[in-house]
Structure 1
Amino acid sequence: MRRSPIRRTALVAALIAAVAGVAAGTGPAAAAGGAGSVRDVCPTARPGQLRCLAKVRSDLRGGHGVRGPASGTALPAGYGPADLRSAYDLPTTGGADQTVAIVDAGDAANAEADLAVYRDTYGLPACTTANGCFRKVNQDGQASPLPEDAGWSVEIALDLDMVSAVCPDCHILLVEADYPDAGSLSTAVDTAAALGATEISNSYGGGDGHGVDQYAASYRHPGVAVVASSGDSGYGNPTAPAEYPSVIAVGGTSLHRDGSARGWAESAWSGSGTGCSAYLAKPAWQHDPNCPNRMIADIAAVADPNTGVAVYETEQETGWIVAGGTSASSPIVAGIIALAGNPDRYPDASYFYAHGEQLHDIVTGAAEGVDCGGDYLCTALPGYDGLTGNGTPNGIAAF
């Protein structure tokens, strides 16, 4: 067996060390912020609130306005749609009958206009309210009144742009919760399902704790694939809603071009959220040996802001930025599920466990700030591991 057993006492000690390191600013989130001048987008969550997981490269920007083939100038910094299609061998069409819902907190007043710039820059078809492709509503499903700005505008732009990048034919539904708390966001998820979403992406999270399953039912909708970011703090407490058994937990990778047949090298991002729930039972389809309860992640995609994606946003930022975090990988995976058009396969993440051989197996990389003895809990290894789950997309065969 490739996995070496670890005594429970060692696991507990490692978990405590990981949590302490993040709290003190010495864990993977802080480390990532040093070399790459990376900063968190959303304000620190208050007690009882959840936090969006987007990160931005403050030292690397792509300029202003529309730039691309239409204007004859260079494309923005960061990976764009063609890069993601190449890295994950994605078709250029599909998903026209799918509606991907993005659930976030607060209003992004410029969301539709910013999305138009992104799509126009990369030659993607228009997705607007006028042509029926884009719709923005509050958590009750109404066009007004919309909530106040909660400081999540970059997160919203990142989510919208990533769905557009991998599934340009998909319809997009943006549901804005009144507040960044579990109750408001779970209401928004229920609304997204009620309005016909076929995939729902949630790029936010809160800690594992007593009563964490209070809102789990809102993230379980038969026929709808519910996806969530696994978190950006490496190995430690898993995040909700990613740890709910009905949710596909999406971890993160670092992605680089290389000279291989694939053309890309991919390793586990050191900040990718992974952990063993202390409260939620292990699903019947999950069989990793050293976590007796629900383990995350299930699948992964690019998330390292140092190998980040191009995003256009004009409320918190001034145009093109390079962003990342598992806030990027969640909408990417949701968009690929939509591209394949089989959301009914995902009452949970079990489909990926049964078709892992059709994914890119990520076998290098480890979480920073904690030593778990090379175990799969915080180290990328052949087969399943906590940082990248069963692997990353390799076409849509596994979807």
Structure 2
Amino acid sequence: MLAAAVVAAGFATPAASAAPAPRAACPERPGVLRCLTTYTPGSARVSAAGPAGWGADDLASAYRLPAAAGPDTVVGISIAYDAPNLEADLATYRAQYGLPPCTTANGCFRKVNQQGAAAPLPAADFGWSVESTLDVSMVSAACPSCRLLVVEGNSPGFADLAETEDTAARLGAKVVSNSYGAREGGAPLAYASHYRHPGVTVVASSGDSGFTAASYPAVLASTIAVGGTSLARDPDSPRGWAEQAWTYGGSGCSAYIAKPKWQQDTHCGKRTVADVAAAAEDIAIHATDAGGWLPVSGTSASAPFVAGLIGRSGHAGTTQPASVYANASAFTDVTTGSNDPAGGGKKCGGDYLCVAGPGYDAPTGTGVPNGLAGF
């Protein structure tokens, strides 16, 4: 099933003798946004039997999430194309981790097109379907009590996804998660106003290309930009977990967006990405079209997870980018690793722009969640 889905999505099937390599679920194309998820087709870790990778219980432990159920905040997910199996895959994920059902029937799950209607939905797309599944799973892991509003754009074009953002806000979302990005520039920035709504918190993935040009819409001053980390168990630490900057997590200096007053780092004259971070590597999801359970990676995982935490905090809509800087001491500082795929931070001269260290750094921002206090 996975091989057929990969071929249908336009990907080449690896040779039988070659080890499978990670691939972008949404390969980069000029003039459109792309989802920020990678997966490994043909991996032995793809299984119908059970999850591989970090699950909701692991994330709850790593980020010290409260046991009590949170509010039923509406979290919007802006996405391109339809994911026909989304509700069923979500049900499998939530059942696996003991999370309460979130269905159309009980009013927790709603899927609409970019105009806000239940039909007609856009055409399906394999890569964006994996992305949608990751998004709803991560919001669920962070906030089992939150309601999910999935708004599907006709395409990954700037105009279509901008409309999904407006629709999510119009239909009551207090937080909107965006797990996609494109290099900032005049064409995408023309739609910046769609990512700014009174009483709504907007969250976006920082990118999956390491230290490079800043990613839109994460670069917008109205958006909480979420970077990525690699998570590992550490029984010798009080936390029980260790974390470092994810090699491919996005960071960058804007060439367009003025430096916000709430951002004080000194080596970017304009807006710096990212603001906060969370796990973005080896995350377990269930995607029927990909063969069942599989691990995926990308800041497409960390952004919806943070969106869910904001929904769970009870401060959705009032939490804005400035908030995470004002509450920087409430986050766990990540002080190791870099997002220079070439290694060692050479790409930025060992600077905080691509190397994690004490205090603010661009790959992990002010740090990773420590409960809900930062939001």
Equivalent residue number for residue 28 of structure 2: 44
In 2, Cα distance between equivalents of 1:95 and 1:106: 30
The question of 1:392 aligning with 2:368 is answered: yes
Opposite residue 76 of structure 2, the aligned amino acid is A
Equivalent residue number for residue 356 of structure 1: 328
In 2, Cα distance between equivalents of 1:211 and 1:38: 30
From 44, 49, 52, the counterpart of 1:77: 52
In 1, Cα distance between equivalents of 2:90 and 2:302: 18
In 1, Cα distance between equivalents of 2:70 and 2:220: 26
- Native 8 Å contact 1:51 1:205 kept in 2: yes
In 2, Cα distance between equivalents of 1:55 and 1:339: 27
In 2, Cα distance between equivalents of 1:118 and 1:334: 18
From 209, 223, 238, the counterpart of 1:261: 238
Equivalent residue number for residue 337 of structure 1: 310
Equivalent residue number for residue 10 of structure 1: none
In 1, Cα distance between equivalents of 2:307 and 2:20: 27
Opposite residue 243 of structure 2, the aligned amino acid is E
The offset of 1:373, in angstroms, is 2.1
The offset of 1:44, in angstroms, is 3.1
In 2, Cα distance between equivalents of 1:217 and 1:38: 34
In 2, Cα distance between equivalents of 1:254 and 1:62: 20
The question of 1:319 aligning with 2:295 is answered: no
Deviations 1:74-103, CA, capped at 9 Å, x for gaps? xx2111111001000001333333011111
**Does the residue aligned with 1:280 lie in a helix, a strand or coil?**
strand
Give me the TM-score of the superposition, normalised by structure 1. Answer: 0.85
Deviations 1:192-216, CA, capped at 9 Å, x for gaps? 0000001110000011223542111
- Native 8 Å contact 2:244 2:337 kept in 1: yes
Opposite residue 284 of structure 2, the aligned amino acid is A
In 2, Cα distance between equivalents of 1:248 and 1:35: 37
In 2, Cα distance between equivalents of 1:212 and 1:137: 23
Equivalent residue number for residue 375 of structure 1: 351
- Native 8 Å contact 1:336 1:396 kept in 2: yes
Question: Aligned runs of 1:98-137 on 2, under 5 Å?
Answer: 98-137=73-112
In 2, Cα distance between equivalents of 1:201 and 1:60: 31
In 1, Cα distance between equivalents of 2:84 and 2:194: 26
From 131, 144, 148, the counterpart of 1:168: 144
Runs of 5+ unmatched residues, structure 1: 1-33, 68-75
Equivalent residue number for residue 39 of structure 2: 56
Quickly say closer, same or farther: Cα 1:283–1:156, change in 2 above 3 A: same
How much is the aligned-residue C-alpha RMSD, in angstroms? Answer: 1.6
Deviations 1:307-348, CA, capped at 9 Å, x for gaps? x11100112x011010110000000000111111101333x3
Equivalent residue number for residue 298 of structure 1: 275
Query: What fraction of aligned residue pairs are identical, expressed as a percent?
Result: 53
Equivalent residue number for residue 234 of structure 1: 210
Opposite residue 345 of structure 1, the aligned amino acid is T
In 2, Cα distance between equivalents of 1:261 and 1:57: 33
- Native 8 Å contact 1:204 1:229 kept in 2: yes
In 2, Cα distance between equivalents of 1:231 and 1:375: 19
- Native 8 Å contact 2:336 2:355 kept in 1: yes
The offset of 1:36, in angstroms, is 8.6
Equivalent residue number for residue 31 of structure 1: none
Give me the TM-score of the superposition, normalised by structure 2. Answer: 0.91
The offset of 1:60, in angstroms, is 4.6
**Does the residue aligned with 2:360 lie in a helix, a strand or coil?**
coil
Deviations 1:258-309, CA, capped at 9 Å, x for gaps? 12110000000111100001011111111110101111000000012xxx11
The offset of 1:35, in angstroms, is 9.8
Question: What is the aligned residue count?
Answer: 351
